[in-house]
Structure 1
Amino acid sequence: DTCQRSGTDQHVVHSGTSGNAQIDLYPIRNDNAEVVYFLELLILIPQSVVQSAPAMVGNSPAWQDVTALIRRAAPSEAVVLLLGESGTGKELAAAAIHQGSRVRNGPFVAVDCSGLPETLFESELFGHEKGAFTGAHSRKIGLVEAANGGTLFLDEIGDIPLSLQVKLLRLLETGYFRRVGGVEPIRSQFRLISATHRPLERMVEEERFRQDLYYRLNTFPIVLPALRERLEDIPPLAKAILQRLPVAKGLHLHAGALDMLQHYDYPGNIRELRNILERAALLADDIWILPEHLPANLQHLPGQKKPGTANAVSARQSSAPGVAEIIPLAELEEQYLRWARGSYGGDRRSLAQRLGVSERTLYRKLDALRSHTEHVVEP
């Protein structure tokens, strides 16, 4: 497609294209250097860019604002700075941006800047030549070089030593670097995304972070909200996490447990929610994660529904398991029969009477249940 220039108006024409897209226009000039046409590069923005991991799930206004910015930033070449508390999903957001970028087929190299000792930082980032220092027995390719043609994600960039910040700035400005002990400049082309939980502006004021580097990194900032700022996203987040936890296969959240999860502050954010659910899954006896499976510090939080109120009766006291999500009726019946069967301790006659069905009907349903699951208790 082309964008033809006519007077002061420009018309973009598409054929058979729908969906979100990023459009870049490149001028085509004649011999007199006059722009006569624009070459149009259209890049479709995948709807799945921010749906690739549990931490990227959510429908709250705060999270929708974030996903809109991620979709906007992904196909561009802008340097992105992800800000937010630890555990809010900054690396997953960086991966989502990479997946929607022009270099999605290249490598995604993530560097935890807080985990590298200062003595090895330069070698890890830029690599080194053989004999550059004691122990350098061979040439080593650095992470910057490994990211060529892809995305370099510098996590916790606020922890980069001042002595290396100037070298990183030079790399971003020129695209060239030198290995430790090397003399030849090496070119590396990559998309840069960085992240930090530290207050970089204050660090600049305190001269603990270079101002020129900060301006270079802060081209397109995205602030990821803390989990306590989007508690309405707990139900879909918890469901997505449970679906991906091997120990939680087939488990469901009881309504009482979900209510408890929605009244906690999560100082550790999504990472803490995942740990809570993994622990609860290990404690669950059947298919339900119950309130008593959650940590003690989640018990009796302000705002929780009290036992005996609507939709908040404990699973041990209710006449049926609480349901925190919509599931197929056949699956719900299986779960209910399994729960009811265990509650009546093998007394099928009493159970049939309580359910209001004949013993034959109950036998048939239990036999069908036995053929589909190993969780039914044999009489």
Structure 2
Amino acid sequence: MNATRAPATDELPELSAFLESLPEPHIVFDRRYRIVAANAAYREQFGTGTSVIGRTCYAVSHHFSAPCDQSGESCPLARSRESGQRERVLHLHHTPQGEAYVNIELTPLRDAQGAGAYFVEKMEPLRVAQGTAAAQGLIGRSAPFQAMLELVARVGPSQASVLLLGESGTGKELVARAVHDASPRAARPLVVVDCASLPETLFESELFGHEKGAFTGAHAAKAGLIEAAAGGTLFLDEVGDIPLAIQVKLLRLLESGTFRRVGGTEWRRADVRLVSATHRDLYAMVADGRFREDLFYRLSTFPIHLPPLRERRGDIPLLVEALLARLAPARRLSLAPTAMARLAQHPFPGNVRELRNVLERAALLSDGAVVGTAAIERALAAGVPRAPATPKLATPPPRGAGRPLRPLREAELEVLRTALAAHQGNREALARALGVSLRTLYRKLRALQAPG
């Protein structure tokens, strides 16, 4: 709403009638936070069965006894008074269905002296996150979580490229989906590309597609993942693992919106919004020449840092409740208070993914409906690597050193097979244990299996 003049008292009915025509929830309140008008959309989504007229906005929305900025929340009215402009914030509001995240846009209506006599507040529920334990989506209430979520809410409706930065297990794919769901492209596909697991030889054709006869085995033309995401969002997970040769072509896609299939001559136009993610230090990779600087700046138009779990410990009880409901819905499990306190002390280097694994192990170790401290201790201990560590890969001798290469290749391959069996075929876990990237591990396996 772009009104600039505050209505007189006798004009409020006219303003109320105008608000009734708007599809989004709107309220009008005065300088003392008292609600003077609320439209049907607001009454339907946030109504509590009683009239809100005459009540304060902070009492209705938050059940606070004082304004938001005096109760630990950011107050859009206070911010608007300082700036004299429209203000946007993300709040947790009470609704008949429980607490929900809501995007607030507040517009001051000015009187003859230029001061804000009334304020119009538009509310848009952010459906991709919850402030309570939920079956799906992002969950949290802590300040770092809300700061991240506010950035998601701001960038979601735009077309800007988003770069998600954070440690492994912080939920980057969930945040990518939240960005997609908050965008005008939400009805179109979200296509996920796991850059770490794609072999370099297949990367280009998987991403851009290929024409018939482009290479051995290309018996028919095939659209790539970019075309599969047409009209939607392309999520490049672990973007730091993209080969340099492909980075050049990805840069062209971002700069011109065009690409060519492998073996093709026709330039195709891509209608995709790009979201990428990495746990790597891309700044260091740029400095080392392992990642193109121009591509980095194209990808990071709007960077969002995902907080590790140790920085949002207050969210652990919510996450525990939601994860237990997903892991064992029929058992209705809960944690003993001492077990919850033990989890709150754990550093969780693997973040939410590690918490999920710990809870799954603890659930399997428990027979009753309450998971105790002993089960949590056993579950935590089971996730700690034990000595002796996985044998390191042997270093091949220099060429010409006079030592036979074939026996060494076979010995290394045997070491890899043994290590892989110890990790139950989990190549990602093996790569972490060996201290190498997943792509390096695949390359090593292919090299050792090659003849010669």
TM-score for both structures, normalised by structure 2: 0.57
The answer to whether structure 1 residue 220 and structure 2 residue 318 are counterparts is no
Counterpart-to-counterpart distance in 2, 1:22 and 1:150 = 26
Counterpart of 1:118 (choices 200, 207, 213) is 200
The answer to whether structure 1 residue 173 and structure 2 residue 255 are counterparts is yes
1:325-364 matches, cutoff 5 A: none
Q: 1:49: Cα distance to partner?
A: 2.1
> Does the CA-based 8 Å contact 1:242-1:248 persist in structure 2?
no
Counterpart of 1:69 (choices 143, 148, 151) is 151
**Alignment partner, residue 105 of structure 1:** 187
Counterpart-to-counterpart distance in 2, 1:199 and 1:233 = 26
Counterpart of 1:154 (choices 236, 240, 244) is 236
| Deviation per residue, 1:59-88 (Å, 9 max, x gap) | 111111011111111111111100000000
SS of 1:194 mapped into structure 2: strand
Counterpart of 2:336 (choices 251, 254, 257) is 254
Counterpart-to-counterpart distance in 1, 2:178 and 2:143 = 19
1:121-136 matches, cutoff 5 A: 121-136=203-218
CA gap of 1:44–1:107, structure 2 versus 1, over 3 A, is farther
Q: 1:5: Cα distance to partner?
A: 11
Counterpart-to-counterpart distance in 2, 1:21 and 1:232 = 24
Counterpart-to-counterpart distance in 1, 2:174 and 2:126 = 16
Counterpart of 2:25 (choices 18, 28, 34) is 18
**Alignment partner, residue 356 of structure 2:** 274
> Does the CA-based 8 Å contact 1:153-1:192 persist in structure 2?
yes
The answer to whether structure 1 residue 202 and structure 2 residue 284 are counterparts is yes
SS of 1:47 mapped into structure 2: strand
| Deviation per residue, 1:96-138 (Å, 9 max, x gap) | 1111110000000011101111011001101111111111111
Q: 1:296: Cα distance to partner?
A: 3.7
Q: 1:207: Cα distance to partner?
A: 1.1
**Alignment partner, residue 422 of structure 2:** none
Counterpart of 2:220 (choices 129, 134, 138) is 138
CA gap of 1:46–1:127, structure 2 versus 1, over 3 A, is farther
SS of 2:128 mapped into structure 1: helix
Counterpart of 1:49 (choices 128, 145, 150) is 128
Residue identity in the other structure for 1:50:
A
Q: 1:46: Cα distance to partner?
A: 3.6
**Alignment partner, residue 160 of structure 2:** 78
Q: 1:242: Cα distance to partner?
A: 1.0
Residue identity in the other structure for 2:221:
R
**Alignment partner, residue 231 of structure 1:** 313
**Alignment partner, residue 372 of structure 2:** 290
> Does the CA-based 8 Å contact 1:177-1:187 persist in structure 2?
yes
> Does the CA-based 8 Å contact 1:83-1:223 persist in structure 2?
yes
SS of 1:48 mapped into structure 2: strand
> Does the CA-based 8 Å contact 2:317-2:340 persist in structure 1?
yes
Q: 1:246: Cα distance to partner?
A: 3.5
> Does the CA-based 8 Å contact 1:247-1:281 persist in structure 2?
no
Counterpart of 2:266 (choices 176, 184, 190) is 184
> Does the CA-based 8 Å contact 1:131-1:138 persist in structure 2?
yes
SS of 1:49 mapped into structure 2: strand
Residue identity in the other structure for 2:284:
R
**Alignment partner, residue 58 of structure 2:** none
Q: 1:247: Cα distance to partner?
A: 6.2
Unaligned runs of 5+ in 1: 7-12, 24-42, 300-379
Counterpart-to-counterpart distance in 1, 2:248 and 2:135 = 35
Counterpart-to-counterpart distance in 2, 1:54 and 1:270 = 14
Aligned Cα RMSD in Å?
Answer: 2.5
CA gap of 1:175–1:21, structure 2 versus 1, over 3 A, is farther
**Alignment partner, residue 37 of structure 1:** none
Counterpart-to-counterpart distance in 2, 1:280 and 1:178 = 50
Counterpart-to-counterpart distance in 2, 1:264 and 1:164 = 40
SS of 1:137 mapped into structure 2: coil
Counterpart-to-counterpart distance in 1, 2:360 and 2:379 = 16
Residue identity in the other structure for 2:302:
F
CA gap of 1:297–1:286, structure 2 versus 1, over 3 A, is closer
Counterpart-to-counterpart distance in 2, 1:196 and 1:233 = 23
> Does the CA-based 8 Å contact 2:126-2:182 persist in structure 1?
no
Residue identity in the other structure for 1:18:
P
> Does the CA-based 8 Å contact 2:162-2:274 persist in structure 1?
yes
The higher-RCO structure (CA 8 Å, 6+ apart) is 1
Structure 1 residue runs of 4 or more that deviate by more than 4 Å after TM superposition: 3-6, 52-55
**Alignment partner, residue 92 of structure 1:** 174
The answer to whether structure 1 residue 264 and structure 2 residue 346 are counterparts is yes
Counterpart-to-counterpart distance in 1, 2:153 and 2:263 = 41
Unaligned runs of 5+ in 2: 6-17, 27-102, 107-121, 382-452
Residue identity in the other structure for 1:97:
V
TM-score for both structures, normalised by structure 1: 0.67
> Does the CA-based 8 Å contact 1:176-1:187 persist in structure 2?
yes
**Worse-superposed segment, 262-271 or 14-23:** 14-23
**Alignment partner, residue 324 of structure 1:** none
> Does the CA-based 8 Å contact 2:244-2:291 persist in structure 1?
yes
Count of matched residue pairs: 273
> Does the CA-based 8 Å contact 1:148-1:188 persist in structure 2?
yes
| Deviation per residue, 1:282-334 (Å, 9 max, x gap) | 121111111111244747xxxxxxxxxxxxxxxxxxxxxxxxxxxxxxxxxxx
Residue identity in the other structure for 1:91:
E
